[in-house]
Structure 1
């Protein structure tokens, strides 16, 4: 039997360009992270610290937890390439602190969080033909929210286009959300019954926050009698070893793809 571990956060990129996904997640090749990626990591660390303090009763302020943003931004756990960046460290820090404060004061109080950055139990799914897919993932940017409709996922997403006209962008996030829902139910035995919320934090232009809703993410992953789920389709790629390229991907460039220099499929 062949067991392939797939993190929740990588499902979307598998169906954006499977050829790139194979290079990174199967063959182990990665590029240095960019400054804006590191800015997102820092924002997620500080907002998670704030939300965790709400859950454990310590109720730290936005000011108290802002230190986590500065520390994470200045002390990355991996290589960050600032050369040729459109943003300096000082600018990234200023943007991050603004969004962190907005999140803590305006967004977080809307939610009743019951878990932040939950580490889930791996789930192995026998997809037939000798292929087992092991789903893993820490809800590293996700929260579990209690609502009138039950429990739901709240996932923080930052980026230059993460909010458009006051609404968080949801396109492309459903595979990760669906995997989170599967793993949460597997880990806790509690059902996810509420729609997921994408909490967008816009890092380019004027800092802005927004909320977007995703429904049916779990069903997209597991499928129905009428259509196969993304897990089954991904398993077919693993079984055959065929990972189709996507030259029309918006991320098909030397900047975003570590396979670019050896890929024969782009222009």
Structure 2
């Protein structure tokens, strides 16, 4: 029997545990939908803040205003398909929100950290699911930075959206799969132990806000304990069986987010 190798972007890993059925359609079957304006807004904010932080790392002295150009350029010239009618957000309003969030990040969040790297390219992480099946996680820490702390590097992941801040605090709910994957891949690449993960949250509502979470052990969720299997083992079972279970209670279960919506047996009708 021939060996099967699945190559998966690390940044998509969290979606596998939200709705595996939707994830399979997008990342294994290649069924995709155009992104909405809010997704594009998040990409734009990440582009600007990454340039600013990289300037701090390499000492080039890029200012917040200079880095803000990437926010506007990304919104006006996206590198992926965008449905600009989605989300009811105009380009003008997107630019206002994006530039405000970018400024909040550069003035309030970034100065709290000494970054070791920004969106590092990571060595592939191989997950052996059986003798004949391997999943290889590849890519970069698309929206994350490695921050220096007394206890070791922390994977600081920038999150944008309308629900990333709850009661004034950066939400870590549902973040462990992606951040934990970055922790594992960073440890393998740099040959160091990480101290945990952290969420750098930028709310992109009409009134942008910023918040930083406590450091949390996202890696543990991925690898599990002696008593309980981690998400890696659960993922391996999906790939071995070819069964990617649906989650009709997912907040992303809608025609807006799911490319499988029209043919999905499990969605609410």
Question: Who is 2:158 aligned against?
Answer: 156
Superposed CA RMSD in Å reads 1.2
Q: For residues 164 and 132 of structure 2, what CA distance do their matches in structure 1 show?
A: 39
Q: For residues 60 and 117 of structure 2, what CA distance do their matches in structure 1 show?
A: 15
Question: Who is 2:149 aligned against?
Answer: 147
1:129 deviates by 4.5
8 Å contact kept, 1:3–1:131: yes
Q: For residues 232 and 130 of structure 1, what CA distance do their matches in structure 2 show?
A: 16
Runs of 5+ unmatched residues, structure 1: none
Correspondence list, 1:150-189, <5 A = 150-189=152-191
Q: For residues 187 and 196 of structure 2, what CA distance do their matches in structure 1 show?
A: 14
Of 112, 117, 124 in structure 2, the residue corresponding to residue 122 of structure 1 is 124
> What secondary structure is seen at the aligned counterpart in 1 of 2:72?
helix
Q: How many residues align?
A: 266
8 Å contact kept, 1:170–1:214: no
1:130 deviates by 2.0
Q: For residues 21 and 84 of structure 1, what CA distance do their matches in structure 2 show?
A: 21
1:146 deviates by 0.3
Correspondence list, 1:49-198, <5 A = 49-192=51-194, 194-198=195-199
Q: For residues 266 and 16 of structure 1, what CA distance do their matches in structure 2 show?
A: 14
Cα deviation, 1:63-91, whole Å, max 9, x if unaligned, reads: 11111111111110011101253210010
Q: Which moved more, 1:172-181 or 1:127-136?
A: 127-136
Question: Who is 1:221 aligned against?
Answer: 222
> What secondary structure is seen at the aligned counterpart in 1 of 2:214?
strand
Question: Who is 1:244 aligned against?
Answer: 245
TM (norm. structure 2) is 0.95
Cα deviation, 1:166-205, whole Å, max 9, x if unaligned, reads: 211111110111110111111111211x231100000013
Question: Who is 1:260 aligned against?
Answer: 261
**Deviating 4+ runs (over 4 angstroms):** none
Runs of 5+ unmatched residues, structure 2: none
Question: Who is 1:31 aligned against?
Answer: 33
Q: For residues 15 and 245 of structure 2, what CA distance do their matches in structure 1 show?
A: 12
Q: For residues 247 and 164 of structure 1, what CA distance do their matches in structure 2 show?
A: 24
